[in-house]
Amino acid sequence: MDFYGGCVMPESVSIEKQIKELREKIEYHSRKYYVEDSPEISDYDYDKMFYELLRLEEEHPEFFDPNSPTHRVGGAALEKFEKIEHSYPLKSLSDVFSFEELSDFISKMKSEHPDVDFSLECKIDGLSVALHYEGGELIYAATRGDGLVGELVTENVRTIGSVPLKIPYKGVLEVRGEVYMPKSSFERVNAEREENGEALFANPRNAAAGSLRQLDSRIAASRGLDIFIFNLQYCDKSFVTHSETFDFMRENGFKVIPYAEVLSKYSDIVDYISSVGEKREGLPFDIDGMVLKVNSLPLRQEIGEGSSTPKWAVAYKFPPEEKQTRLLGIDIQIGRTGVLTPIANLDPVRLAGTTVSRATLHNIDFIRERDIRVGATVTVRKAGDIIPEIVSAKDTEGLPVFEFPTVCPACGEKVSRGDEAAIRCTNSACPAQLRRNLVHFASKGAMDIEGLGPAVADALCDKGLVKNVSDIYYLTIEDLVAIERMGEKSAKNLLQAIENSKTRGLARLLYALGIGQIGDKTAESLASVYSDIEDFFALDAEKLTEIDDIGSVVSLCVTEFFAHPSTRETVDRLKAVGVVTESAKKEKKDDRFAGITFVLTGTLPTLTRSEAEEIIISHGGKTSSSVSKKTGIVLAGSEAGSKLAKAEQLGITVIDEQQFRKMLEN
């Protein structure tokens, strides 16, 4: 028994009080550390409190609270993300790419509303989410999705230290923010992935998006994500200006977006954008522009909204930074499908926040068009602030013209070039392709061998256990336990996954083999016409072009692949261990879509692309990856791109998911 307020208090009440007080203290100090950047206690003292709370919660599960700070470390993995319809749409913004375009927007606003002022804010390069609170507690968090329907990522968002799990305001409140990965976290995560032999994230935005959509919240917690809040989506309290909502959100513990000013004059706005742009490289987070919004909330309502973007705001996108440096050499990199890609070795140069020493040269045509030569001075930029590319070259006089190799640098086989720009090695047993081929062969959309990731693939190759993808079906338990950090249980699980993969069928096998230009959709098209892999050894390129969506480039890649002796050996070894090399017959429901070729584009509200394709095929239809005159219907979701535009240009029927479902009725 404990004494409290002069009375004897039951132990359960005392424990509950301790837990409540610890939660409040930890949340207070989390805010001081993550939001205000002014910690009041040491990490050691914070950790002591945290682990004491963790211990008490484990011993007393009756006091469970989903918004306890202990949930920031993550919990049990989800099976999938649930969809949720946004109560308040999360719209995107119209982009402008020059100060002239920005001036046009401001002039238009001022011609109709002379006294208008604007909120100017950083455009964080991350993933947009909505956080919904009721009664002072975080109820759910959802990704933007298509703006109308998103995915519930509450467990992952709870792991972000700067997200308040409880707030002083007790009414209904929804805010919108941008989840991002700080540059320091990005560097740490990529260093860990490189050490583990995993593929590196291309940039912090991709890393943030991938981390927030992890089904296991413990992985999300380990990635060091952060968030900036930039909009009050809804509150049952009224405000006059956007800047007032910022003050309100700060008071409630939200980490509001930095570098936000309220300005009116065009010259002041340009000066502010320029000053932030100059600081951009030194910021601890990535920004790709500045957002200009009308500050008055009543005026926003008067100006109105477009179908997908508000009329009262634009996003100014920073132009890509360019630097000059010297081209030291050109290496040839061999990709998974055998394509030989020239890579520029550069005198290191700082560009858009990172040091760039290598850049893609795409292909021989790219090099010839720009007259790129070793020793020249080249202008480098990051395309979309992500991929380094060479824009131009100068000082090339007297320097030797680059000659592309005629044989594969890795295996010595002759390389070939069809109707495409790419030059490729068609030897499926090429050692330079093996590691990437193994990972692709085992990937989810291919043979789906759980446990055979980049690190295991590297180990198998390093030990000489696998020299061809077919070798994985001949591995033994003794082979696998000899791999570092591979226990007997993991080895048995991997062998079982390999065994399970034998029945995936012809379409997935064709995709898994890594044939140039053959994606999963093209593989399905091939397998729907030719039901046995043996058929492909006898086909010529002209015959293949008779199939919908198979052009001369694809047909040449297929025939060259199956003409190579190493392919014959691979297929024979796969068949010998029982890998299914024939098409599985799919159950057909009816023929309502017979003779109709569908093309899918964008993100559908409730169906995945593969689910929609399966429905179409089960009703006698076909699917294609590209729009042509043969296309019957385009099924379009949100963020549909060039395929939708081409369909409209050709006068092809375009439907959404709701219309598609009506076609399935009866």
Q: 55 to each of 32, 74, 221, 365, how far by Cα in Å? A: 24, 16, 19, 64
In whole angstroms, what separates CA 29 from the centre of its chain?
A: 33
* Nearest Cα to Cα of residue 207 among 225, 229, 227: 225
- Interaxial angle between packed helices 183-195 and 204-212, expressed in degrees from 0 to 180 and rounded to the nearest 10: 80
- C-alpha to C-alpha distance for 165 and 17, rounded to whole angstroms: 19
Three state DSSP letters for 379-439: EEEEECCCEEEEEEEECCCCCCCCCCCCECCCCCCEEECCCCCCCEECCCCCHHHHHHHHH
Q: What tokens does 415 get?
A: 């390389």
What CA–CA distances, in Å, run from 594 to 406, 476, 527, 590, 591? Answer: 47, 47, 18, 9, 5
Go through 374-389 and write b for each residue having 16 or more CB atoms within 10 A of its CB, e for each that does not.
Answer: bebebebbbeebbebb
From first CA to last CA, the distance across the chain in angstroms is: 69
Token match 């306890």: residue? Answer: 68
The phi-psi region of residue 485 (left if phi > 0; otherwise alpha if psi is between -120 and 50; otherwise beta) is left
Measured CA to CA, the distance from residue 397 to residue 375 in angstroms comes to 10
CA distance 2 to 320: 65
Residue type, 139: I
143 three-state secondary structure: strand
Q: What is the 8-class DSSP label of residue 328?
A: E
Rounded CA-CA distance 222/227 in Å is 15
Amino acid at 452: L
Q: Is 585 an active-site residue?
A: no
Q: Residue written as tokens 């198998």?
A: 460
Are the CB atoms for 367 and 380 separated by under 8 Å? no
Contact 185, 203 (CB under 8 A): no
CA distance 106 to 44: 51
Q: Is residue 316 within 8 Å of residue 290, measured between CB atoms?
A: yes
- Crossing angle of the two packed helices 565-576 and 552-563, in degrees rounded to 10: 70
Closest listed residue to residue 89, CA positions, set 166, 176, 28, 157 = 176
Contact predicate 598/567, CB 8 Å: no
Instruction: Identify whether the C-beta of residue 72 lies closer than 8 Å to the C-beta of residue 166.
Output: no
Helices (H) and strands (E) in the chain — how many of each? 23, 24
Catalytic residue among 80, 123, 170, 630: 123
Q: Which residues are catalytic?
A: 123
